[in-house]
């Protein structure tokens, strides 16, 4: 069954864009081969057709798996420059701050054109030629480079990125929730604050504000049934106020359910939906009111009145009701 924890916790949260997850794309803007005669490490000069090849990858500081590796080719003698404007790949909803550019270049003298073999001339890489702190330049598209692993091959890239944004990420700007069902999306955050008392590492969150209507409630149920990830729920009386209730797994499976009894009309709750151990996904917030209505057929009115009692009580709220 549900467990409700009472705790005072501040819910002030930072809004710096470095705390936001981002989407980004890496594009090869230019690849260049050229001959520099007379340098000690240069062995690229040939009188015959030049069959230059290069490959470019990237990874980031969060996901170390390489993306890209596409082969770029040139047949010009004396060096060449190509501008493929080719997208190596993209990542979505990531907390990455640094993108590593991995470059390999060589002159193909035998074997597979896009594989650097022992007999190939002018070899370099694959090696990380740049680690770019792309967030320093702000959202948008920025060109970086050129970067190379020797003085006669290099690459230039373009990185485009933006926020993963939603309006109700902060307690100070919650979405309004009403009785019934509200669909929500929980996105990944990077440097958020964990303020829910009954779960663990639930940094990813979204906020709703709900106000009880003009009626006294026998009970109020708030749950996340139908969500596709391990949810957590907590209720606050204000931003920076008290945590009134908290639940992790009282719903179906790993979903959350909070039930409050005897809720006065006009009560406002700030609802924090989060995810256990950094979980995130999509879900549904359900709010169900059970009015404390003495006119209902199943109202638990005391039927045995003794000692000339002039009031009856309505369990569980024990709210006196005058006898007519």
Give dist(CA 230, CA 65) in Å, integer. 26
Q: Where are the domains of the chain?
A: 22-163, 166-291
pTM: 0.71
**Rounded (5°) CA angle 80-83-88:** 120
Mean pLDDT in residue range 236-259: 95
Do 22-163 and 166-291 agree at the fold level?
no
Per-residue pLDDT at 49 exceeds 70: no
Give dist(CA 51, CA 69) in Å, integer. 18
Comparing 294 with 106, the larger pLDDT belongs to: 106
Q: Let me know: does 187 contact 164? Beta carbons within 8 Å.
A: yes
CA 80 from chain centre, in angstroms, equals 42
Per-residue pLDDT at 195 exceeds 80: yes
**pLDDT level of residue 121 (50, 70, 90 thresholds):** confident
| Residue 77, pLDDT score | 62
Per-residue pLDDT at 5 exceeds 60: no
| Phi, psi of 21, rounded to the nearest 5 degrees | -75, 155
10-19, 46-55, 92-101, 142-151: the lowest-pLDDT one: 10-19
Per-residue pLDDT at 304 exceeds 80: no
* Terminal Cα distance for the chain, rounded: 39
Mean pLDDT in residue range 93-118: 88
| Residue 256, pLDDT score | 97
Comparing 304 with 159, the larger pLDDT belongs to: 159
53-57, 166-170, 177-181, 314-318: the lowest-pLDDT one: 314-318
Comparing 76 with 191, the larger pLDDT belongs to: 191
**pLDDT level of residue 307 (50, 70, 90 thresholds):** very low
Topology of domain 22-163, per CATH? Answer: Immunoglobulin-like (2.60.40)
**pLDDT level of residue 282 (50, 70, 90 thresholds):** very high
- In this structure, CATH architecture of domain 166-291: Sandwich (2.60)
120-124, 242-246, 251-255, 296-300: the lowest-pLDDT one: 296-300
| Residue 10, pLDDT score | 33
Give dist(CA 37, CA 86) in Å, integer. 30
Mean pLDDT in residue range 27-39: 78
| Residue 314, pLDDT score | 55
| Residue 33, pLDDT score | 84
| Residue 80, pLDDT score | 83
- In order of 37, 171, 217, 264, 286, the CA distances from 213 in angstroms are 83, 21, 9, 9, 16
């Amino acid at each position: 069954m549900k467990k409700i924890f009472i705790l005072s916790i501040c819910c002030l949260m930072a809004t710096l864009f470095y705390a936001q997850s981002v989407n980004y794309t890496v594009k090869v803007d230019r690849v260049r081969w050229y001959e520099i005669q007379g340098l000690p490490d240069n062995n690229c000069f040939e009188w015959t057709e030049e069959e230059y090849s290069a490959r470019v990858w990237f990874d980031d500081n969060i996901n170390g798996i390489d993306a890209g590796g596409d082969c770029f080719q040139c047949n010009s003698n004396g060096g060449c420059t190509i501008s493929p404007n080719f997208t190596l790949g993209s990542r979505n909803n990531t907390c990455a701050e640094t993108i590593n550019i991995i470059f390999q270049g060589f002159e193909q003298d035998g074997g597979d054109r896009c594989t650097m073999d022992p007999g190939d001339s002018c070899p370099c890489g694959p090696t990380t030629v740049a680690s770019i702190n792309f967030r320093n330049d702000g959202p948008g598209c920025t060109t970086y480079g050129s970067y190379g692993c020797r003085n006669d091959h290099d690459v230039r890239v373009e990185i485009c990125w933006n926020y993963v944004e939603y309006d109700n990420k902060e307690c100070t700007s919650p979405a309004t929730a009403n009785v019934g069902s509200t669909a929500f999306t929980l996105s990944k955050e990077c440097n958020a604050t964990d303020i829910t008392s009954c779960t663990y590492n639930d940094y990813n969150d979204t906020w709703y504000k709900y106000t009880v209507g003009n009626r006294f409630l026998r009970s109020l149920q708030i749950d996340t049934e139908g969500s596709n990830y391990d949810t957590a729920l907590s209720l606050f009386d204000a931003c920076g106020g008290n945590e009134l209730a908290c639940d992790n797994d009282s719903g179906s499976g790993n979903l959350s359910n909070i039930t409050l009894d005897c809720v006065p009309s006009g009560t406002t709750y700030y609802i924090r939906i989060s995810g256990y151990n950094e979980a995130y996904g999509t879900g549904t917030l359900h709010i169900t009111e059970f009015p404390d209505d003495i006119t209902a057929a199943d109202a638990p009115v005391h039927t045995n009145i003794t000692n000339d009692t002039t009031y009856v009580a309505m369990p569980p709220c024990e709210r006196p009701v005058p006898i007519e």
